Chain A
């Protein structure tokens, strides 16, 4: 059972950096990253 918790925990902390970042929440970000933190 503990392994299942480990898997879920690992899955969450792996997915978060993949989807939560300024590139996905800011329409003003340029390709070089400038303007990414305008929001």
Chain B
């Protein structure tokens, strides 16, 4: 239930934003169903609006989703004994930051015989919330007046700030990394396309974390 409550408003916002940047209801629902990665989809919609090329968007998505290697690796090892490989692969496809958090918190369930059904249900509910929320958002985006939907563009920045602030409150070093990424993006956007400058900002900003971050920040 907390995942559904957390996902629905963000998914609806994505639907409205995506429809605002010119994506059709089918396209934005398909994106949620096939990609199923919130931050990447918001970034994708933003880059489509900025008229970035397809390759820039795909590379930026890949960089942003690098963390899935680690999350999926950790999850797979957690349930290695109880869930067969085929089901593990299917469940891995549905891993997100939130569902990963739930699986990590329910580590004690991982050893149980039916843990696959438990994790499968969590992941399926989250997935359906995300896809249906995007669809509703897409519908709303087509119905509500353009002025109102345009003002929702600010929601994108609000969402990213909302993700950043709690982390920064925990450690100011994370703010430094965000500022490095911001500065690199700003600097390179003067010379290269916005898409590639986002990619460079993400990679260089993330790389500085190797030096700045300590174990207690994570």
Q: Interface on A for B, CB 8 Å cutoff?
A: 2-19, 21-24, 29-31, 33, 36
Contacts and interface: CB of A to CB of B under 8 A. Distances in A.
Interface residues of B, number: 39
Contact of B54 (A9, A16, A17, A33): A9
Main secondary structure, interface of B, reads: helix
Q: What secondary structure prevails in chain A residues at the interface with B?
A: helix
Contacts of B40: 10, 14
B27 interface: yes
Given A2-B54, A18-B92, A31-B78, A10 B72 contact: no
Given A13-B59, A14-B65, 14 more contacts: A6-B58, A7-B27, A7-B31, A8-B34, A9-B54, A10-B35, A13-B62, A14-B61, A15-B93, A16-B62, A17-B65, A21-B69, A29-B80, A31-B77
A24 B65 CA distance: 18
Contact of A11 (B34, B71, B76, B88): B34
Interface of B: 23, 27, 30-31, 34-37, 40-41, 44, 48, 54-55, 57-59, 61-62, 65-69, 71-78, 80, 85, 88-89, 92-93, 95
